[in-house]
Amino acid sequence: MAETLKTASVRESDSGKRFLKALRLISILALAMSVSSVAFDWLSASGKYFEDGASWIYDCAIYGLVAISFGRSVFYERAAAFMLSLVLTAAGCQGSYDVWSEIARRGHDVSVDTPFSALVFATGAILEAALLFKFRKSRECLMMATWLSARNSAAVALAGAAVSLVFHAPTASGPQIFLDCLDTVLAFQAAFLVAKGIVEN
């Protein structure tokens, strides 16, 4: 009962209200980016933006779930934080596999996102991170988990945009290996910090 009251008070605190507002804004942003990406893909018949739209829907679902769980109870908060830790771990494993795959086929050409697609994706990811930046030092599990997730997305998206601007056409896999390594390291580091926060709290 005491823990439930504590989480409820956190939700109603100034920082808790700001956090919930940020989550709602991010969910709206992600939904808008998803709809616009899918619509642009359909109108242009390019087939290059549908995957971005699916990725934004994923963000909308994740941050929406966090908003629902935040301040409800210790159990729900820890469950949501644990789920984010698992998602980050899965991202790290996927990144490791991608690095191995790129190294195995080194010398073959790989596709790079178009500069427009990469810049749009990076802009959205940076906006998400900016909305959560003020919570970067929080020790509260969900605040920490969402900030680290947004930070990872922004860092990888910004690096990806830089690569796409330099390499306009299919190119050697070196830059892609760098991006996959960055994604992998950040994902595992974030998963560890979130899991550690869950245990300590």
User: Identity (one letter) of the amino acid at 37?
Assistant: S
pTM of the prediction? 0.81
Nearest to 164 by CA among 181, 179, 144: 179
Can you spell out the DSSP letters for 61-108?
Answer: HHHHHHHHHTTT-HHHHHHHHHHHHHHHHHHHHHHHHHHHHHHHTTTS
Tens place of pLDDT per residue across the chain (201 aa): 444 444 555 656 778 889 999 998 998 988 888 888 788 777 776 666 676 777 788 788 888 888 888 878 888 888 888 988 998 898 889 888 888 887 777 655 555 556 677 788 888 899 999 999 999 988 888 899 899 999 999 999 899 888 877 765 545 467 778 888 999 999 999 999 999 988 887
Domains of the chain and any CATH numbers: 13-200 (1.20.1510.10)
- Residue 10: its pLDDT value, please? 61
* Residue 20 Cα distances to 26, 77, 96, angstroms: 10, 13, 33
Count of other CB atoms within 10 angstroms of residue 83: 16
